[in-house]
Amino acid sequence: MTKPIYNFDGAPNNAYQFLAGDVQTQIEKTGDKTKRTFSGVAYHGGQIDDHWYWGNLVFDLDGLDLSDGKVPMLVEHDRDQRCGFINSHNIGDAGLSIEGTLLSNEHGTTIANDADEGYPWQMSVSITPKRVETVEQGTVTVNGRTFNAPVTIFRSNTIREVSFCALGADRHTSAQIFNENRDHTTPKGDNVDLEQAKAKITELEASLSQEQSDKQAAIDALNEFKQAKREQDIAALATKTGQEFSEDKLTALKSMDETSFSMFASMMPAKTEQGKGVQLSQELFNEQATYGVQARDTGGSFETKFAEWSKA
């Protein structure tokens, strides 16, 4: 038995964000060093088991709309963290496969740098349906596959954005993405008991609290990963230059953003034949730690100071 679900317009926004099973993400290097591409399976075409709001869930890929033009790629469904866009997609046996380009801004660079260092990014797809059905008995065929009841089906779907999410990120990260043109079908005679509604609210609040805790844990793990990698890079830099950095210089090196540190490390000479490293001016560290990449755009002050230090 299939029927439209009760007024799903009341579902919270984060009920439409999904880590769709075993996704695969690849970030490639191109001949143009300023451009990075990515590819992956945004949705495998099968059933998402035990979703916190919808239960067992399947997206109907027939007639899928990937919005107009290039579909945005975000970080954690945050509109302020734009990191790329989807150039093309394909619907086949593997499900929904996408390919795209990363931006050269801070967010796109972070995604690429972390992937280069081995961080396992996942994809989370934001889907807004125009129609939602529940199958309470029997079976239903969607995307060429047969699914057993109970299962919820999203029909006439639109993808507004896809996000890169940290490993272990929750499946209902908050995002202000809402389809204003959904069909709001409510079966007549279905009255929700007040006590049941209160119990559902309590359940959702507890689930949201746990998911927020899980998200923070994922963010903490990512920060620890970056900190450990930076400490390894600083140790390698000390070996290369034959220097033992002071506490002030260590603090400055740790506070640099990834682009500034990479530029700084690439310009530092190896230790001399006598095995003595060249001593760096604290002013050079201060400028890099304070201005980062911007120092490169203000008349070449960083390069000038570096050249003067190299000749000293």
Residue 52 and residue 69 in contact, taking contact as beta carbons nearer than 8 Å: no
Predicted confidence at residue 22, as pLDDT, reads 42
Predicted confidence at residue 149, as pLDDT, reads 93
Predicted confidence at residue 179, as pLDDT, reads 28
Predicted confidence at residue 274, as pLDDT, reads 53
Predicted confidence at residue 58, as pLDDT, reads 93
CB neighbour burial string for 160-181, b if at least 16 within 10 angstroms, e if fewer: bbbbbbbeebbbbbbbebeeee
pLDDT in tens, 151-207: 999 999 999 899 998 854 334 322 222 223 344 343 344 444 667 777 888 888 888
Predicted confidence at residue 172, as pLDDT, reads 34
Query: Which residue positions in the chain have pLDDT lower than 70?
Result: 1-34, 67-69, 167-194, 272-312
CB neighbour burial string for 87-110, b if at least 16 within 10 angstroms, e if fewer: eebeeeeebbbbebbbbeeebbbb
